[in-house]
Structure 1
């Protein structure tokens, strides 16, 4: 059995919740080699394997709300940048008469349904609401919050790049785009504020511009909220996961049924969202990757930001829930204790 000084050696995933980021090279002694040979001989006659567990209970990961605030500011900035980019790209969208919609296989087989996009936005609002409630009752909501804000901000930053570098024509002749402003900065600012006030939803009447096709922002939110709901809820809640999956899947399909996005917009949005989610959580949950010299996930441009956000989270976040508010709050409990201590000293 290895000593506590060599706790970074090869442990099975999840066997050791607190793995030190540095991995010292360990040369087994003669006694350890002998004991390992003895264990191999005994294992032939046993149907179990003994795994060494460190003494003492691990500390829960710190909340660090100030990091969550920074991640929220990052997400808010990229959302605002997205609305500005939509206003810029709208001026470059070609007219339907000169540039008709591009061929799309899904549109060839499925006719447009007018009310389908309303279903998409209603499902999206339901998933955001469900995730917000689940996040609010999670014990480690600060960690979940900064992960969600960082991934959402990064996805919308990527979206700004893709829709700016390539402007696609409208996917259907039914689409009505607002008139171009041709350099009227004040009117463009009003459109940005209008789009932000309506959360970028067509159901609120705030989204009257075209050009933000590649890739689909609705698909991003449907996929991202579902993945977070499933990741941070009990595995036994299969009915809960199935319900949320149906909301996300139906919402994504209705985007295409409404002919509001090309098929490639939805496919690319799902692929980028799911891959980024899986990459981030693989780096966060499998701490043994920090000990591997062949971890190519650290080559991502956002790896320094990841290290900043996850530096003190050395284990997988437990699936634990609690009431979001306690009474009386801790800030009121401590002054009462200090006041009682002062009173007791004065009486003495």
Structure 2
């Protein structure tokens, strides 16, 4: 029996993927905390941000800045999506991208354990059912992990908001405010000792890269389908093209079919004969976007 494969079904698959990844992440957080309890390294590492920024004694400020920007971003961009199909596409992309980012974050926990940035008493389950219960409490912020370092989840959310506004809202004043809001949030994350500075830097870069790769591959998928000349132009046997670009092999092409399925591009191609309304590549003319 074949699984459902429509827009709603893929929305559900994306949501389930995110939930499974979050469960894995909070479980790995507890394993990391358990490993730290058995280690001899109890003092925080030296950090340039800690040394030069005045200390905030509460996590309330960074938590508020992250939550306020995240909620306003989700609400405003959902409302601005004109149709139900667009709303589903918007949220499905968030589920897939966030799931991939959280999965990467989970493996940073399990691979290397850094000491907490502050005094901390971890809550660690003794068996799988208890770990799952504690993990559920972590998801809702009731319990806190001690060694969730290397990759800042707060920074991931702030950077995601910057990228989402940049992609879906070309309004420059709004984007400027979002970037300032996020920058203040990043500073307070370090100032409050919520994360090491390196956690923020790595998360900022990885999140930006993930969004860039995802939407670049969406664009490549569209070009590959509707601008047939692009495949010929990039052909490794095209001497003139290779003389300029020198890219005999284009990496990440194998990811395009995955992105097509995750994003539902193939479904939208079937529903709408888009080929009649999109411009095609024509030699010696600018490629229209």
Q: Same fold (TM over 0.5)?
A: yes
Answering whether residue 101 of structure 2 is matched by residue 155 of structure 1, we say: yes
Deviation of 1:265 after TM superposition, in Å, equals 0.7
Q: Is the 8 A contact 1:96 1:170 kept in 2?
A: no
Instruction: Select 2:71's aligned residue among 102, 119, 129.
Output: 129
Which residue matches 2:11? 68
Rounded Cα–Cα distance in structure 2 between residues aligned with 1:72 and 1:223: 21
Rounded Cα–Cα distance in structure 2 between residues aligned with 1:71 and 1:189: 21
Which residue matches 1:264? 198
Which residue matches 1:296? 251
Relative to 1, partners in 2 of residues 1:70 and 1:210: Cα closer, same or farther, differing over 3 Å?
same
SS of residue in 1 equivalent to 2:45: coil
SS of residue in 1 equivalent to 2:252: helix
**Per-residue displacement from partner, 1:101-124 (whole Å, max 9, x unpaired)?**
112112222242113x32221122
Larger Rg: 1
Which residue matches 2:261? 308
Rounded Cα–Cα distance in structure 1 between residues aligned with 2:98 and 2:92: 10
**Stretches of structure 2 lacking an aligned partner (at least 5 in a row):** 1-5, 226-230, 236-248, 275-289
**Stretches of structure 1 lacking an aligned partner (at least 5 in a row):** 1-62, 201-205, 316-348
Rounded Cα–Cα distance in structure 1 between residues aligned with 2:123 and 2:101: 28
Deviation of 1:270 after TM superposition, in Å, equals 0.7
Rounded Cα–Cα distance in structure 2 between residues aligned with 1:288 and 1:180: 49
Instruction: Select 1:242's aligned residue among 176, 194, 214.
Output: 176
Relative to 1, partners in 2 of residues 1:78 and 1:135: Cα closer, same or farther, differing over 3 Å?
same
Which residue matches 1:220? 156
Q: Is the 8 A contact 2:189 2:195 kept in 1?
A: yes
User: Which of the two has greater helix per residue?
Assistant: 2
Please report the TM-score for the alignment, with normalisation by the length of structure 2: 0.74
**Per-residue displacement from partner, 1:58-91 (whole Å, max 9, x unpaired)?**
xxxxx92322221111112111221121122111
Which residue matches 1:49? none
Number of aligned residue pairs: 238
Deviation of 1:232 after TM superposition, in Å, equals 0.6
Deviation of 1:277 after TM superposition, in Å, equals 0.3
Which residue matches 1:142? 88
**Per-residue displacement from partner, 1:314-335 (whole Å, max 9, x unpaired)?**
68xxxxxxxxxxxxxxxxxxxx
**Per-residue displacement from partner, 1:187-231 (whole Å, max 9, x unpaired)?**
4333222112x2x3xxxxx13321111211111111112211221
Q: Is the 8 A contact 2:30 2:124 kept in 1?
A: no
Rounded Cα–Cα distance in structure 2 between residues aligned with 1:179 and 1:185: 14
Rounded Cα–Cα distance in structure 2 between residues aligned with 1:189 and 1:79: 11
Deviation of 1:307 after TM superposition, in Å, equals 2.5
Rounded Cα–Cα distance in structure 1 between residues aligned with 2:127 and 2:11: 37
Rounded Cα–Cα distance in structure 2 between residues aligned with 1:309 and 1:193: 27
Deviation of 1:92 after TM superposition, in Å, equals 1.2
SS of residue in 2 equivalent to 1:208: coil
Deviation of 1:304 after TM superposition, in Å, equals 4.3
Rounded Cα–Cα distance in structure 1 between residues aligned with 2:98 and 2:258: 14
Which residue matches 1:177? 121
**Runs of 4+ in structure 1 over 6 Å off:** none
